[in-house]
Structure 1
């Protein structure tokens, strides 16, 4: 973290903490933390709040088992709000909904961004043990060829009824497609912008 939360900004020592799913990027809930709750979250890797109704520390999931496994914390520019990324175990809201806003917590688009950054890192910081690095070292034509090969394999699997094999080929194609975009220095957002333009 490049900043630390300033709990002295509020008289009660509490700061709002927004919880966001690491992969879906959906906002799951809002709670409040004091210094002790924040420190416990960092040390135990389970998101912990200060419950104003119970007047004590409260680890989300301590009764239901629906924990929020801590991933990262960011502090806003005024140092008086916290953004926590987490991996939820089960629904987050006490009502049984995925989020406290009744949104379904699906669509793990955040992982694609994580994968894209990993691919970019392998290009900029080569590693001998990395398959991605070896692809970049073979040049653009080889990367493009792999996309074509994976696309054909996916089409072949689409004609059968083996879901596991189909998903494997679909994942291979997605990975190689992202690698090709990186080899061409094209951002995934540029492709999405093109889709948005066509959608109008």
Structure 2
């Protein structure tokens, strides 16, 4: 996908590094800022998995090498001055070492707004994935995943019923609340089954392309 590209014009700084802006391919969310040297860039292109250069440790590292939060590369762009890269990836788990999906979770100048393009779904999926890999005592998500598939399926069934009841009662606020519960439990089910949310997006996109009405 990105193997046959010419990187010879990239302008590295005096330390042989180029900054890399990392963006979630499905949502457009900016996840982190990192650096690459020529070798890290080559590894990234060859493997289609993000590799960076650690300025503190002075070595090349693969994102997710120890945490499991791998970044699958979908696209690579260079800016007009050839001195900054934009890496579009699909994030497995979270990008930040603080267990936030993005390293830019602290807003200074504006309030946090709901993310477009189903970004909140990807963020929630990342949290559930993280709880699956690193269970936390007292976490409902960790408890649910530990109890297994039957427990999760029971909750999905219960929440689906609650959605129906809320809709029948014409209670819009309750319907929104119960729908959020159902979506959360469905995401937990997908994580338990090893199915990424991107697979659902792909299926929906496939249906949209097949017909003008995706529900026909």
TM range (shorter): 0.5 to 0.7
Higher Cα radius of gyration? 1
Q: Which residue of 2 aligns with 1:58?
A: 61
Higher relative contact order (CA 8 A, sep 6+): 1
Contact 2:11 2:18 in 1 (8 A): no
Q: Using structure 2 for the length normalisation, give the TM-score.
A: 0.49
Residues 49 and 9 from structure 1, CA distance in 2 versus in 1: closer, same or farther, beyond 3 angstroms? Answer: closer
Alignment partner for residue 13 of structure 2, among 10, 14, 39? 10
CA–CA distance in structure 2, aligned partners of residues 44 and 59 of structure 1:
10
Contact 2:95 2:102 in 1 (8 A): yes
CA–CA distance in structure 2, aligned partners of residues 40 and 107 of structure 1:
32
Gaps of 5+ in 1: 111-157, 181-200
1:135-146 to 2 correspondence within 5 Å? none
Q: Which residue of 2 aligns with 1:142?
A: none
Gaps of 5+ in 2: 107-111, 120-166, 169-178, 187-199
Contact 2:78 2:85 in 1 (8 A): yes
Contact 1:7 1:14 in 2 (8 A): no
Q: How many residues align?
A: 126
CA–CA distance in structure 2, aligned partners of residues 75 and 64 of structure 1:
28
Calculate the aligned-residue CA RMSD, in Å: 3.6
Residues 46 and 3 from structure 1, CA distance in 2 versus in 1: closer, same or farther, beyond 3 angstroms? Answer: same
CA–CA distance in structure 1, aligned partners of residues 40 and 208 of structure 2:
39
Following superposition, the deviation at residue 86 of structure 1 comes to 0.3
Following superposition, the deviation at residue 10 of structure 1 comes to 1.3
Following superposition, the deviation at residue 9 of structure 1 comes to 4.0
Following superposition, the deviation at residue 51 of structure 1 comes to 0.4
CA–CA distance in structure 2, aligned partners of residues 28 and 22 of structure 1:
10
CA–CA distance in structure 1, aligned partners of residues 68 and 76 of structure 2:
22
Q: Using structure 1 for the length normalisation, give the TM-score.
A: 0.53
Q: Which residue of 2 aligns with 1:78?
A: 81
Residues 102 and 75 from structure 1, CA distance in 2 versus in 1: closer, same or farther, beyond 3 angstroms? Answer: same
